Amino acid sequence: MGNPTHFSLEVPKRAHQLLRDLYEHLSDSDGTKLPLKATFLLSISMPIVILPIERILKYKRKPSEVHMNDAVLNPKLADAVDRAIDLEAKVNLTEFFTGPWQFASLEKGAGFPNLAADGLPEAVAAQLDSPSAIEDAKNLSANRFCKILRNALAHGGILYLDEHGRSSSSSPVRRFAFVSTNDPRNPTKLHFLRIGMADYRAFLQKWVEWLKTEAIDDILAKDVGLDAADAMDAIVPEEAVKAAAE
């Protein structure tokens, strides 16, 4: 296949295939070389996470905005995305959640720190180290969790962290922190989600599996180039088909 017919489903699938095929061939950071695994993992995750939110959820909730609306291409998938990324329900109840994520927040006070220059504040890192940070992440609404992740990926709110979850220019990258404000118009807090690289990769796999599972009934035939009857033959053993016909 060349041009995707369902951009926010097929491009994340293709990006995840690149992740599976290429990730282990890249070098780890040793503190002296560029952290190619971290950079690749982060880069490849952008279309995986952002596209379903931007081109399905956005238009499912605002159908009048139609210039990039994938929601109409697979209504079953659009409904599933809308239900899963719930405004109130806890994210740990969704099919795409896997952890351990850690959550913390920082009040604006007199002003936000410049994370680009100063890295992750130690006070925030200490919050993220506490056992409650994992429970706080689980208890985020699915909508808030996805907003933090989407906004961080879309706007560069990402920090590379070492194995201890701290900013370090000389240590290998082992974790990420995703940072977003609580309100784009009048921000009063910074939200932080922290996760290890291996756990983030596992989350991406779960996310793509969730999308494919929710969409499979409508896109299976298109994916394998068969009509609906032939597609069912492809997944149902021939013996079962014969038994059902008898």
pLDDT tens digits, one per residue of 35-54: 588 999 999 999 999 999 99
Does 222 have pLDDT greater than 70? no
Mind listing the pLDDT tens digit for each residue in 186-214? 999 999 999 999 999 999 999 999 998 88
Strand 102-107: give its sheet, edge to edge: 102-107, 189-196, 175-181, 158-161
Q: Is 89 inside a domain boundary? A: yes
Domain span holding position 47: 7-245
**Does a structural domain hold residue 1?**
no
Q: Flag whether 157 is in a domain.
A: yes
Counting the structural domains of the chain, the total is: 1
Share of the chain above pLDDT 90, in %: 60
C-alpha 198/C-alpha 172 separation (Å) is 14
Q: What is residue 53's DSSP assignment?
A: I
Per-residue pLDDT at 112: 95
- The whole-number pLDDT of residue 74 equals 87
* Residue 2 resides in a domain: no
Q: Which two tokens stand for residue 145?
A: 């969790």
> Is residue 18 predicted with pLDDT exceeding 80?
yes
Tokens for 20, please give them: 């599976």
Comparison of pLDDT for 61 and 192, the residue scoring more: 192
Question: Cα dist. 5→2, 141, 150 in Å?
Answer: 9, 31, 23
Residue 86 near residue 227, CB atoms below 8 Å: no
Helices 7-22 and 36-52 pack at an angle, to 10 degrees, of 160
- Give the pLDDT mean for 129-151: 97
Q: Which of 222, 210, 221 is nearest to 6 (CA)?
A: 222
The pLDDT tens digits of the residues spanning 89-112 come to: 999 999 999 989 999 999 998 899
- Percent of residues, the chain, with pLDDT higher than 70: 83
pTM given for the model: 0.82
Residue 223 pLDDT: 47
User: Are the C-beta atoms of 82 and 55 separated by less than 8 Å?
Assistant: no
**Single-letter residue type at 41:** L
**Residue in 148, 158, 164 with CA at minimum distance from that of residue 196:** 164
